[in-house]
Structure 1
C-alpha cells in the first residue's frame, strides 16, 4: 500500500511502516514545500526499504490560492488541494496539474471537471475516526454521495490513513473493509487502497523525468 496523506514521518520519524503493509509513504507538507526538510527525511529513509515521495497539501479558500499552489507543481510528487469554497473547488478541478482533492466533497459540476482533468478524490480515514455519532453518520452520507459521483464520472478514489501518528496507521485489509462499508465494491476498494495511489506516484515520476506514456508507448520529451 502507498499512503499519500500521512504526516507521521516529519512528526515521529520512521515507525515500522512495513508491519502495516505500507510500502510507500508520502512526506506531507501543508501549504508550503520545504525542500531541505524533504531531502533530510528522504536521506534518513534510504535504508528503510520504503518508497518515499513528496506530498504538498494546500488549503484553498479561493481560486487565487489554487493558482499559487500550482506554482509548486514541478517540485513535488503529489499535489493535493483542500478546497474550502465552491470557487476553490472549481479552480482545482479545472487543472490537470492537481492530483487529488483532499477531504473531498464535490458537486456534480466539479465532478465533471475532475473527470475531464484526471483529478482524483480522497477518502481520509482520519476524517472518519475523529467523528462520532450523528457527525460521523453525516460524513458517511457525504462520502457515499461522492462515491456515486465518482462512479458516474469515472473518477479515481484515493483511500488514505490521514495519520498524524503511528496510532493512526492501518493495514490495507482494514482500509479496504472500511471502503466496502462506505459502499465500494471489493474491486473499487482494492483500487483505491492498493493500486491507484502507487500508479499516481509512478506516473508523476515519469512526467517529472520527461517520460510520458500514452497508449502503451513510452516517449521521451
Structure 2
C-alpha cells in the first residue's frame, strides 16, 4: 500500500512501515515545499526499504492561493489542495496540474470539473477518527455523498491514513474495511487503498522524467 497523506516521516523518521503493509509513503509538506528537508528524508530512507515521494498540501482560501500553489507543481510528486471555499474548490478542480482535493468535500459542478481534469478526491481516515458523535456522523454523510459524485462523474477517490504519528498508521485491510462501511464495494475499496495511490505516484514520476503514456505506448519527450 502507498499512503500518500501522513506526517510521520518528517516527525518520527522511519518507523516500521512494513509491519503496516505500507511499501510507499509520502513526505508531507504543508503550504511550502522545503527541498532540503525532502533530500534529507530521501537520504535517510535508503536503508528503510520504503519508497518515499514528496507531497505538498496547500490550504487555499481563495482562487489566488491555488494559482500560487501551482508554481510548485514541478517541484513535488503530489500536489494536494485543501480548498476552504467554493472559489478555491473551483480553481483547484479547473486545473489538471492539481492531483488531489484533500479532505474532499466537493459539489456537483466541481465534481464535473475534477473529472474533466483528472483531479482525485481523498478520504482521510484521521478526519473520521478524530471526531465523535454527531460530528462524525455528519462527516460520514458528506463522504458518502462524495462517493456518489465520484461514481457519477467517474472520479478517482482514494483513502489515506492522515497519520500524524506512527500510532495513526493503519494496515490495508483495516482501511479497506472502513471504505466498505462508507459504502464502497470490495473492488472500489481495494482500488482506493491498494491501487490508485501507487498508480498516481508512478504516473507523476513518468511525467516528471519526460515520459508519457498514451494508448498503451510509452514515449520519451
TM-score, normalised to structure 2's length?
1.00
Distance 1:14 1:82 in 2: 26
Following superposition, the deviation at residue 146 of structure 1 comes to 0.3
The match for 2:47 is 47
Deviations along 1:55-100, whole A, 9 cap, x unmatched?
A: 0000000000000000000000000000000000000000000000
- Aligned partner of residue 159 in structure 1, secondary structure: strand
Deviations along 1:182-216, whole A, 9 cap, x unmatched?
A: 00000000000000000000000000000000000
Structure 1's unaligned 5+ residue stretches are: none
The match for 2:59 is 59
- Aligned partner of residue 207 in structure 1, secondary structure: helix
Distance 1:49 1:165 in 2: 19
Q: Report the number of matched residues.
A: 221
The match for 1:163 is 163
Following superposition, the deviation at residue 26 of structure 1 comes to 0.4
Following superposition, the deviation at residue 158 of structure 1 comes to 1.7
The match for 2:132 is 132
Following superposition, the deviation at residue 107 of structure 1 comes to 0.3
Residue correspondence of structure 1 range 1-221 to structure 2 within 5 A: 1-221=1-221
Deviations along 1:125-172, whole A, 9 cap, x unmatched?
A: 000000000000000100000000000000001200000001100000
Distance 1:121 1:194 in 2: 15
4+ residue stretches of structure 1 with deviation over 4 A? none
- Aligned partner of residue 47 in structure 2, secondary structure: coil
Following superposition, the deviation at residue 2 of structure 1 comes to 0.2
Following superposition, the deviation at residue 7 of structure 1 comes to 0.4
